[in-house]
Structure 1
Amino acid sequence: AAGFAGWKRTPVQQRAQLIVAMGQALRDDVDNIARMISQEMGK
């Protein structure tokens, strides 16, 4: 809830850029993320 105040004041275009960047970061690290999830699930 505390972060929402700042987020709602962030311009929409900047929010979109941040979300796109986060998506790219996830895609860039997909192998590592998949490995960690598999380890957490015990496989």
Structure 2
Amino acid sequence: MISSELAKHGIAAERWELEALTRGARIKFGDIDMHFKALEDWAEFD
């Protein structure tokens, strides 16, 4: 979901940005402010 939402805005996030967004962080990409609810279980980061 996060990757597809970023792609809609033409944003190619780095791994650390994706990790931060999955943990509920708020990140600005130029004029776009992105924030998502923290994901409780994402196997890729276990």
Give the TM-score taking structure 1 as reference length.
0.34
Structure with the larger strand share: 2
Give the TM-score taking structure 2 as reference length.
0.33
Of the two, which has the highest radius of gyration?
Answer: 1
Structure with the larger helix share: 1
Q: Which has the higher contact order (CA 8 A, sep 6+)?
A: 2
